[in-house]
Amino acid sequence: MKPTDAELEILHVLWANGPSTVRQVHEKLSQSRDIGYTTALKFMQIMNEKGILSREEDARSHTYTALVSEEDTQRNLVDRFVETAFRGSASKLVMQVLGQHKASREELDEIKNLLNNLNPDSQDLTD
Amino acid sequence: MKPTDAELEILHVLWANGPSTVRQVHEKLSQSRDIGYTTALKFMQIMNEKGILSREEDARSHTYTALVSEEDTQRNLVDRFVETAFRGSASKLVMQVLGQHKASREELDEIKNLLNNLNPDSQDLTD
DNA sequence: TTGCATCTACGAAATCCTTCGTATATGTTT
DNA sequence: AAACATATACGAAGGATTTCGTAGATGCAA
């Protein structure tokens, strides 16, 4: 349920590219950092054991598929992160991010839009 | 530079209560979970070695002080988190949080306010 | 068919992190 | 002073993570 950093790297590749072989994933990962082929393989084997990835063993080289969605995973991660880093205050996190990171005008508009469409009646006091 | 979960727990206590002894910290932590006294002590000793906490050894029971600020720490954590969980897209994170978590009307207003005060000329495309 | 390339499987080292138990020192109380 | 309470120091177990090396299987090429 809580992917490690290495597992997240692999999930990102699978989310972006769809079902892939170890070789394909390894090639993607190699673009951003040094990593051995068997290291990637091991990760994917472990993730398969954990039930995070499924595996097609038809061909000689297996094809792995993510069994968790990007949204669900990020939701879980955000939950934990808000808890551990911000003691549960999601709004403090948002303000931290907005104050610190840069976003395009379109993204800002999108966020404002989202804010305006939030139904205030469904909102709760978090802090 | 990257506090562990246990270290964050302790930092939160010190940020909230100011310089404290192991006993004081342990009592706070005990309120939310099971944790032995020497466990807390060990954490704080390690954090002292790492330079995260300073220690006053005057009295028999030492007094520890956080050497990192809450803001700096959270900034660092957010940076890493955006990177590993959202592949660098801060705005996706924000939208995840806003869509998922509940915030008070005041907080929403505060966020909207912050958004409106962001200088668009200083913004960059992140995605 | 012999050998090269490519896969998977297995195991294990190296590091962290979390968590205490035990030992030892030092105040405090009777 | 003896006994007790409380602090720190030390070390180590147990588990998770990351990272490969090596072995063994299998397909392709010469």
Determine whether the interchain pair B91/A110 forms a contact, defined as Cβ–Cβ distance below 8 Å.
yes
Instruction: Report the distance separating Cα B89 and Cα A119, nearest Å.
Output: 25
In this complex, the answer to whether residue A42 has its CB under 7 A from any atom of chain C, a nucleic strand, is yes
Tell me the mean pLDDT in the region A91-101: 85
Proportion of chain A above pLDDT 90, given as a percent: 66
pLDDT digits (tens, 9 = 90+) for A34-48: 999 999 999 999 999
Q: How big is the A-B interface in CB pairs under 8 Å? A: 147
Q: Are A90 and A82 in contact (CB under 8 A)?
A: yes
Does A83 score more than 80 pLDDT?
Answer: yes
In this complex, the answer to whether residue B8 has its CB under 7 A from any atom of chain C, a nucleic strand, is no
The amino acid occupying position B94 is V
Instruction: Report the distance separating Cα A119 and Cα A100, nearest Å.
Output: 27
pLDDT digits (tens, 9 = 90+) for A42-69: 999 999 999 999 999 988 999 999 999 9
pTM of the model: 0.88
- Nearest Cα of chain A lies from the Cα of B64 at a distance, in angstroms, of 20
Residue of B nearest to A85 (CA): B74
